[in-house]
Copies of this chain bind each other. A is one copy, B any other.
Amino acid sequence: MTATAARVSVRGMKGLMQERPLNIPSILRHAERLHPQKTVATKTADGVRVVTFAETVGRARRLIGALRRLGVGADDRVATFCWNHQAHLEAYLGVPCMGAILHTLNIRLFADDLVYIVEHAQDRLVIVDKSLWPAWEKVAARVGCVERVIVVDDAPGALPEGTLDYESLLAAAEPAELVEVPEDHAAAMCYTSGTTGHPKGVVYTHRSNVLHSMALCMADAFGIVERDVVMAIVPMFHANAWGLPYACLLVGTDIVMPGRFLVPDVLTSLLVERGVTFAAGVPTIWQAMLEPMKRSRDRLGRLRTVICGGSAVPPSLQKAFHREVGIRIVHAWGMTETSPMGSVCRPLAAHRDRPPDDLDALLASQGRPVPGVEVRIVGEDGSELPWDGRAVGEIEARGNWIASAYYRDRACDRFHDGWLRTGDVASIDPDGYIRICDRSKDLIKSGGEWISSVALECMLMAHPDVAEAAVIAVPHPRWCERPLACVVPRPEARERLTREALIEHLRPRVARWWLPDDVVFIDQIPKTSVGKFDKKALRERFRAHVLPDAAPPPG
């Protein structure tokens, strides 16, 4: 055995396969060679502008030429402050293919955060939509690193002073030859709003983006095919529009971009008129689109997949889509740190003959980890918990498109032993279906036991008179924390909906000690920049809320 052990430690024999870098240039070459006639359609004020992949890729090559002339070189950060449109896609292609780093800025952040992020990343050049100039202007005055601003002409009005016109730069530039970028080179970065402290930068590699694109196209994941027409409503600054831009180029799907027209009626018209087969967005978008999509149901025959991620999909929304639009929403889970695809909810062959209610319960979960991503759940003491559908712990993830560190923040405790601590708290059932109970920061800790705010919210939103509901923890002298339900009634139910009705609605569905101590009615739930419930803001607002009675003892 000693001899054997010695052999095992010998440096292995290398295989004899070609060593090609997994990089964005390979995606670009594939798109221009195999899918030159596929199209990118962007919504504009006048209608829809449709161009071929050949033209888009040709323009991306010109963008490289233009950026080189402006002195942009390898490793330079080129930021975008843009909606989803063709020029943004050109930046997705051109910037990484020249060895520079694409930095997608979240247009919905406050100026303070943007100033911090731009300075932290040391962006040298920014591509800004003219329609977003008022927001950018507030940032521009306060950052020192940005040398040039290029403006995309997506709205009326003159070019802001001191900026460069995107179209003129492209017209004057030569299309560039591609260079081979090493696969471990940084391709793109995206900051995630920290729960505490400053935003954190995730830096994707060429390799991670290519592997993520391949995994996305696997038939049991997003499974997109050439004959699809894909519309990412999720913004290109929100975790890379979930990886769809590169995946679409790799597979050759037609792409539909809503631009700045994120209005439910306009989006629904795009679905109909462009024959969209595959669309992706956060729950708040699909909630808002339910009514117009119901009205257009007859003309949505080509739509086959609706992906929903970013937050848990309320089962009531899932059911409404199935019943009234004729489509089952596919739930996906991930985050900026996971590129973002971590899990996708698809029924298994074993579920084929299950009753519809079982299937609904299954589809309400976050699904199973995709090949290439490993997950585990870990208790407060750091021990790994079983996949029994009951044990609840923090999800940890590892794999080739999972972050290993934040940019210039290596001491962060989110990373340990090669695993990412996701901050999501979940159970996993024996089949591998993940059920997220909460963000760890949103869990309500009452008398030493956890209460899932997400579970309470889903039940509240299933009530016919409730439009939206968020449940937060408020301090409690005896139980440490107790749940408070913040509820937005449907307009027509504003007069009749009562605290008591909601508590009675919950009573048969949860343990007694899970019942919220109080219900407050509000006009709307504050949202974060990526459309999630902003519970930090709610907790701030209701920090001093006085609960009506002593809560019943837990258990």
Q: Which residues of A does B touch, CB under 8 Å?
A: 1, 3-4, 6-10, 12-20, 22, 26-27, 29-30, 33-34, 37, 68-69, 71-76, 98-99, 101, 179, 181-182, 184-187, 202-208, 211, 214-215, 217-220, 223-227, 250-252, 254, 346, 348-350, 352, 368-369, 371-372, 374, 398-407, 418, 420, 432
Q: Once the chains bind, are B346 and A204 in contact (CB under 8 Å)?
A: no
Q: Once the chains bind, are A18 and B399 in contact (CB under 8 Å)?
A: yes
Q: Once the chains bind, are B208 and A399 in contact (CB under 8 Å)?
A: no
Q: Once the chains bind, are A15 and B208 in contact (CB under 8 Å)?
A: yes
Q: Once the chains bind, are B405 and A13 in contact (CB under 8 Å)?
A: no
The docked-state distance in angstroms from the alpha carbon of A555 to that of B372 is: 56
Q: Once the chains bind, are A218 and B19 in contact (CB under 8 Å)?
A: no
Q: Inside 8 A of A346's CB, which chain B residues have their CB?
A: 226
Q: Once the chains bind, are A19 and B184 in contact (CB under 8 Å)?
A: yes
Q: How many copies of the shown chain assemble into the complex? A: 2
Q: Once the chains bind, are B399 and A203 in contact (CB under 8 Å)?
A: no
Q: Inside 8 A of A34's CB, which chain B residues have their CB?
A: 368-369, 432
Given A7-B76, A12-B185, A372-B214, A17 and B204 touching (CB < 8 A)?
A: yes
19 pairs, A vs B, C-beta closer than 8 Å? A1-B68, A4-B68, A4-B73, A6-B73, A7-B71, A12-B181, A12-B186, A15-B185, A15-B187, A15-B208, A17-B402, A18-B402, A18-B418, A22-B211, A34-B369, A214-B218, A217-B219, A218-B218, A250-B371
Q: Once the chains bind, are B400 and A17 in contact (CB under 8 Å)?
A: yes
Closest chain B residue, CB of each to CB of A401: B17
Task: Pick the most buried of A19, A349, A406, A407: most chain B CB atoms within 10 A of its CB.
Answer: A349
Given A251-B218, A432-B34, A12 and B182 touching (CB < 8 A)?
A: yes
The docked-state distance in angstroms from the alpha carbon of A398 to that of B34 is: 15
Q: Once the chains bind, are B352 and A204 in contact (CB under 8 Å)?
A: no
Q: Once the chains bind, are B400 and A15 in contact (CB under 8 Å)?
A: no
Q: Once the chains bind, are B205 and A15 in contact (CB under 8 Å)?
A: yes
Q: Inside 8 A of A186's CB, which chain B residues have their CB?
A: 12-16
Q: Once the chains bind, are B227 and A349 in contact (CB under 8 Å)?
A: yes
Q: Once the chains bind, are A7 and B225 in contact (CB under 8 Å)?
A: no
Given A76-B7, A218-B217, A227-B349, A14 and B401 touching (CB < 8 A)?
A: no
A528 to chain B, nearest CB (A): 23
Given A218-B217, A219-B219, A403 and B372 touching (CB < 8 A)?
A: no
